[in-house]
Chains A and B, each alone.
Chain A
Amino acid sequence: MTALVEVKGLDKAFGGVHAVEGVSFSVEAGQVYSVIGPNGAGKTTLFNLITGLYTPTKGEILLNGESTAKLEPNELAERGMCRTFQQMQICMNMTAIENVMLGRHLQLKSSLFTTLFRLPSLRRNEAAARKRAAELMEYVGCGDYLDAEASAMSYGALKRLEIARALAAEPKVILLDEPAAGLNAVETAALEDLIRKIADQGTTVMLVEHDMKLVMGISDRLLVLNYGRVLAEGTPEEIRQNPDVIAAYLGG
Chain B
Amino acid sequence: MLNTFMQSRLRGLVILALILVILPAFLGNPFHYELVTQMAIIAATVVGLNLLVGFAGQISLGHAGFFGLGAYFTGIATGTYGWSSVPALVVGAIVVGAIAWIVGRPILRLKGHYLSMATLAVGFIIAIILNNERALTGGPDGMPVPAFEIFGWELSAFGRYSLFGITIEGFQAWYIFASVVLLVAVWFALNLIESPIGRALRSVHGSEVAASVVGVNTAKYKSLVFVISAIYASLMGSLYAHFQGFITPAVASFEFSILFITMVVLGGMGSTFGVILGAVVLKLLPQVLADFQELEHVMFGLILMLTMIFMPKGLLPTLTAFVSKKMRKKAGGEA
Contacts and interface: CB of A to CB of B under 8 A. Distances in A.
A105 B217 CA distance: 10
A44 to B, nearest CB: 13
A80 to B, nearest CB: 10
B202 A94 contact: yes
A190 interface: no
A53 B195 contact: no
Contacts of B217: 72, 74
Contact of A74 (B202, B206, B212, B270): B212
Nearest to B10: A118
Nearest to B210: A89
A116 B216 contact: no
B195 A118 contact: yes
Contacts of B202: 91, 93-94, 98
Contacts of B195: 110, 115, 118, 122, 126
A41 interface: no
B207 A91 contact: yes
Interface in A68-126: 72-74, 76-78, 82-83, 85, 89-94, 98, 101-106, 108-110, 112, 115-118, 122, 125-126
A110 B224 CA distance: 14
B192 A116 contact: yes
B17 interface: no
Instruction: Tell which of B195, B200, B218, B270 has the most Cβ of chain A within 10 Å.
Output: B195
A169 B214 contact: yes
Contacts of B205: 91, 93
A234 B203 CA distance: 39
- Size bracket of the B interface: 20 to 34
Given A74-B218, A90-B206, A92-B206, A102 B213 contact: no
B301 interface: no
B35 interface: no
B308 interface: no
State the majority secondary structure of interface residues on B.
Answer: helix
Given A91-B207, A93-B206, A115-B191, A105 B196 contact: yes
B288 interface: no
A183 B135 CA distance: 70
B54 to A, nearest CB: 10
A165 B214 contact: yes
A91 B214 contact: no
B192 A102 contact: no
Contacts of B198: 115
Contacts of A34: none
A51 interface: yes
B20 interface: no
B283 interface: no
B201 to A, nearest CB: 10
Given A92-B206, A118-B191, A105 B213 contact: no
B212 A72 contact: yes
Instruction: Tell which of B198, B211, B214, B216 has the most Cβ of chain A within 10 Å.
Output: B214
Contact of B211 (A92, A102, A168): A102
Contacts of A76: 213
Contacts of A74: 211-218
A89 B209 contact: yes
Interface string B203-233: 1011101111111111000001000000000
28 contacts: A72-B212, A74-B211, A74-B213, A77-B212, A85-B210, A89-B210, A90-B207, A91-B203, A92-B206, A102-B200, A102-B211, A102-B214, A103-B214, A105-B199, A105-B200, A106-B215, A109-B196, A115-B195, A116-B188, A116-B192, A117-B191, A118-B191, A125-B196, A126-B195, A129-B196, A166-B213, A168-B214, A169-B215
